[in-house]
Homo-oligomer: A and B are copies of this chain.
Amino acid sequence: MLQHSILETLPEDLHRDALSGLQPLRFEHGKVLFRAGDPCQGLPLVLNGIVKVQMTGLSGNSIVLYRMGADDICTLSIGCLMTGDGFRAEAVVEEDAELFMVPRGLFDRLMDQSADFRLGIMESYGRRLNDLMLLVEEVAFRRMDERLEHWLEVRAEKGAITITHQELAVELGTAREVVSRLLKELERKGRLRLARGKIEFIGSFVE
């Protein structure tokens, strides 16, 4: 389904006009869409798949800031698009994704001519700001065991997931050893089973 809801709200002529200039780009798992310092090519509209955005601190540690899925807009790019500054973060394709890349000129035109488009952009910005505020709160005040358990609970329905402790550490913005120890603790409590690169949920997680 190669469409994006923010384009569907456009009046017919604008819509046809916009689509004619946009090719869906296909990216595979693991592909780095952009990295810290890259200039901005345009505004990415995610059609399907999942892209995660993470940043690496001066210390070398990384943390996942948020994810984008179908119908999402990479609002982070707008800032760069406007000011010409580079990104502070990097985006990595987590599940094979397709997206439209809206160039600066078209973006300006859509902003100028469609109130719905503007609304969509503003809403997306608001959501992103909100996400980041919640992340700040979580990182600053929540305990790591709670955060880890919460992260696991969200994905527990799948029964098992494929992820290394290092990757999990980046998700939470902590150290690999911390994740290893906490997971081991959960295994001792009989709530999951650990294997190399895999976590299997049992007991309280699945219920």
- Which residues from chain A sit less than 8 Å from chain B, CB to CB? 55, 57-59, 61, 63, 65, 75-76, 78-80, 82-83, 85, 88-89, 108, 111-112, 115, 118-119, 122-123, 125-130, 132-137, 139-142, 173
Q: Return chain B residues, CB-CB under 8 Å to A80.
A: 126
Q: Which of A78, A118, A130, A140 has the most CB of B within 10 A?
A: A140
19 contacts between A and B (CB under 8 A): A55-B137, A57-B137, A57-B142, A61-B141, A63-B140, A63-B141, A75-B125, A75-B129, A79-B129, A82-B119, A82-B126, A88-B133, A88-B134, A89-B133, A108-B115, A118-B118, A125-B129, A129-B132, A141-B173
Identical copies of this chain, number: 2
Least distance between A102 CB and chain B CB atoms (Å): 14
Task: Report the nearest B residue to A53, measured CB to CB.
Answer: B133
User: Which residues of B sit under 8 angstroms from A85, Cβ to Cβ?
Assistant: 126
Once the chains bind, are B133 and A132 in contact (CB under 8 Å)?
yes
Q: Given A89-B133, A111-B115, 17 more contacts at CB 8 Å?
A: A55-B133, A55-B137, A57-B140, A58-B137, A58-B141, A63-B140, A65-B133, A75-B129, A76-B129, A79-B125, A79-B127, A79-B129, A82-B123, A88-B130, A108-B115, A128-B129, A139-B140
